[in-house]
Chain A
């Protein structure tokens, strides 16, 4: 698309301004994480920059432990979601049974129930299973997602049904077809769903707070909160350095995922 230079300049300056506005809090946090407390409190420009806050964050709190917990929880949730959603989506696309579409709509309707509404029953269940303060309690309730199933179903539907028929003729069963054809062909949306699932579970706050009572399995988001409340006077520099550490994995994943996504999108479809 070509546009006159004057228009371009206007557009780009508007874009830059709004980008700065959106990014300002993160930028501030980043700068604050290198400043000492006095500078932060007086609101002056930093006189000296140091890594002290980062060292303190690791020394004062079991940040590594939190990070590790978060990683475990996020990875397990992601894998669980991928497996369950893709299997369910396969059934909704390739298996024919009575009432399939009605069942699917019911399934989709659960997307409208907010997670907060199901927190109490979920909590009861994991308490009865003695899963409080355990990884299963943190992860299993999130395995089944209507959104993931919906996303994958739409993607699977684009796989020509002739592929299934061709595999039927050579005598390939459903599960093998799912493994050998459907999953590789739908790789792109699996990556999308995986990235999405990982990010949401990494940023999860309410449920880990409820289902944990001590530091053994607590995730990093709760840890961050603890940074804030343990002292009378908040050590903002430390808190910000903690926050920066927490968003690093997210950023890495976004960059990697984006590359994968673009690669997947440019891949040609059948015919």
Chain B
């Protein structure tokens, strides 16, 4: 039994097209659960339905084994952090943090005690008398978090809380939020469109597109075993390289350009005589040395990241990117050998887009478990 249970949840506006369809999901207590998807996928709507700000059109929602479909937000015992922080502009930081406790008529002494603890924890001691407009983006973010913390609700919902911060601050806040969640043992439901946030923060991730669950699982599983083409391209940066492919004799022909032999590997039977799309991660296409089977490709773009180099080349109509460790001083237009191996490839059905077979190589290495 999960802490939050969604059973066949759906949402439609004005009885028209559904924005969410048949969502079945369980979120465990103390879990950091991330809802990720492109804009318009319905992830915020789902979060707001859990919060009680949005009506549920169909299905059942349970929080700690109680059906809460028609419960107003205040009775669901949760806190929420909004994208624009929703700080009250006319109140000081202190009043903002205590706003909820005041509304719930919590005892003054308890209020003060909790305020001190929270301010201490979030490093807001010096800012308590300031108004929100006198704070920087990061500080406002912290006040918004403090407001969620001070409520001591076991469930915290966050709606893209970091999207208004600059990249550096965002990286910091990611860690801060994550630590806070672990320290307080909160159950967190976190909405984002940023797959990096999803990968780095979530215990589990749900990928949503067009109101339909694409995949639910641990970040590493989503990365290694994307269950369809959408997840494959959405999770991971740079995105997984895709190409149409068919099996011919014992060779795999990609986009009618690359011919990759199966070598010693046994050709799986379920791949024969169907239209395939193969996917390969950028880091699985290293510089090919002599005793490997290589493909010579012409470079169309080089990006230097310092510790690694991204090399782009064309495969038929697709633009592929390989990620090489270290600094490679190569020019656009150079021809370089790239090692592309069948064992690193995920195979998808072209028609349905679903995964047929994951990369065999990942079983051998990559995931280090202790």
Residues of A with Cβ closer than 8 Å to B? 160, 162-163, 165-172, 176, 181, 184-185, 187, 267-271
Interchain nearest-CB distance for B163 vs A (Å): 12
Q: Which residues of A contact B79 (CB under 8 A)?
A: 169
Cα A187 to Cα B88 with chains together (Å): 13
Counting residue pairs across A and B whose Cβ atoms lie within 8 Å, the total is: 70
Q: Interface residue count for B (Cβ, 8 Å)?
A: 29
CB pair A185–B104 under 8 Å, yes or no, is: no
Q: Which of B68-104 contact A (CB under 8 A)?
A: 72-75, 78-80, 82-90, 99-100, 103-104
Residues of A within 8 A of B169 (CB): none
Report if B132 contacts A (CB, 8 A).
Answer: yes
Task: Please measure, in the bound complex, the distance between the C-alpha atom of A172 and the C-alpha atom of B103, giving whole angstroms.
Answer: 6
A168-B86 in contact given A176-B103, A268-B133, A270-B132 (Cβ < 8 Å) = no
- Which chain B residue shows the least CB distance to A268? B133
Bound state CA distance, A152 and B99, in angstroms?
A: 24
Closest Cβ–Cβ distance, residue A189 to chain B (whole Å): 14
B120 contact set on A, CB distance < 8 A: none
| A170 and B100 in contact, given A184-B90, A270-B132, A271-B164 (Cβ under 8 angstroms) | yes
Q: Is residue B151 contacting chain A, with contact meaning CB distance below 8 A?
A: yes
* Closest CB pairs A-B (n = 4): A171-B74, A170-B100, A268-B133, A162-B86
Are B133's CB and A162's CB within 8 A?
Answer: no
- Complex CA gap A241/B316 in Å reads 92
**Known interface pairs A168-B74, A169-B74, A170-B100; A160-B84 also in contact (CB < 8 Å):** yes
Judge whether A269 and B89 touch: CB under 8 Å: yes
Is there an interface contact between B87 and A171, defined as CB atoms closer than 8 Å?
no
**13 pairs of residues in contact across A and B, judged by CB atoms under 8 Å:** A160-B84, A162-B82, A163-B88, A166-B86, A169-B52, A170-B100, A171-B72, A171-B103, A181-B90, A184-B90, A187-B90, A268-B133, A270-B133
Chain A residue nearest to B85 in the complex (CB): A271
What chain A residues lie within 8 Å of B151 (beta carbons)?
A: 170
Chain A residue nearest to B82 in the complex (CB): A162
Which residues from B are CB-within-8-Å of A185?
Answer: 88-90
Inside 8 A of B147's CB, which chain A residues have their CB?
Answer: 166
B53 at the interface (CB under 8 A from A): yes
Contact B86 A163 (CB under 8 A): yes
Complex CA gap A162/B100 in Å reads 14
Which residues of the other chain, A, contact B340 by a CB distance below 8 angstroms? none
Q: Is the CB of A169 within 8 A of B78?
A: yes
What's the nearest-Cβ distance from chain A to residue B146, in Å? 13
**Which residues on the B side are within 8 Å of A270 (C-beta)?**
84, 87, 89, 132-133
Complex interface bits, B125-141 against A, C-beta within 8 A gives 1, otherwise 0 = 00000001100000010
Kindly report which residue of chain A lies nearest to residue B83, judged by CB atoms: A162
Write the chain A residue with the least CB distance to B105.
Answer: A171
Tell whether B162 is near chain A: CB-to-CB under 8 Å.
no
Q: Pick from B51, B80, B86, B133: contact of A160, CB below 8 A.
A: B86
Question: Distance (Å) between the CB of A72 and the closest chain B CB?
Answer: 31
Residues of B within 8 A of A181 (CB): 88, 90
Cα separation A242 to B73 with both chains bound (whole Å): 60
Question: Bound complex: CA of A170 vs CA of B152, how far in Å?
Answer: 12
Q: For B87, what are the chain A residues with a Cβ–Cβ distance below 8 Å?
A: 270
For the complex with contacts A181-B90, A270-B84, 18 further pairs of A-B residues with Cβ separation under 8 Å are A160-B86, A162-B83, A165-B80, A166-B82, A166-B86, A166-B147, A167-B103, A168-B72, A169-B79, A170-B74, A170-B104, A171-B72, A171-B74, A172-B103, A184-B90, A267-B133, A270-B87, A271-B85
Q: Complex: how many Å from CA A171 to CA B164?
A: 27
Tell whether, in the assembled complex, residue B99 and residue A170 are in contact, meaning their CB atoms are under 8 Å apart: yes
Residues of B within 8 A of A184 (CB): 90
B140 to chain A, nearest CB (A): 8
